[in-house]
Structures are given as C-alpha cells and as structure tokens.
Amino acid sequence: MKKYEYKIFKVSQTELEKELKELGSQGWEMIFYGKEQESIFKREIEVKTSKNLEILNDQFSDEINLENLKKDQ
C-alpha cells in the first residue's frame, strides 16, 4: 500500500524555478497551484516492513484468497 505526505507551500515568483527544482529533488510532486501562489505538494512515504512480516503476508495471501473463501461458505 502506498502512503503519501503532503506539504502546503507558498512559492515566491522571484525564486520560483529554484524553489520548484529544490522541492522536486527532494521527491515532492506539485499537485495543486492556486491564485495566491499557494501550492500543494505530495511525496510517497517509504513504508518499511520486516522480512518476517513479508513472509507472513506471502503465506496468508496464499491461504486466504477468493477461491478458498468460497469453499468455506
């Protein structure tokens, strides 16, 4: 599952290109630009899982699927 964080930022006209390049290099993507130079940016958050959790998820995804659920009913 993807998770995002959001940032509201007021971009100044004089430093627009520099500020946008800086935010972009940090992984921020502009998703809205308003009349008052107020912008909303988002970037994906890395969700860390342990190897044990990944193994459990793989096991359960094989055991709990639509076909098995239909058989149980």
From the first residue on, what is the mean pLDDT of each consecutive set of 10 residues in the chain (73 residues)? 86 82 91 85 81 60 54 52
Please report, for the chain, the start and end positions of each structural domain, with discontinuous segments joined by +: 3-72
| Per-residue H/E/C for the chain | CCEEEEEEEECCCCCHHHHHHHHHHCCCEEEEECCCCEEEEEEEECCCCCHHHHHHHHHHHHHCCHHHHHHHC
Say whether pTM exceeds 0.75. no
d(CA 49, CA 51): 7
Look at residue 54 in the predicted model and tell me its pLDDT. Answer: 62
d(CA 40, CA 30): 6
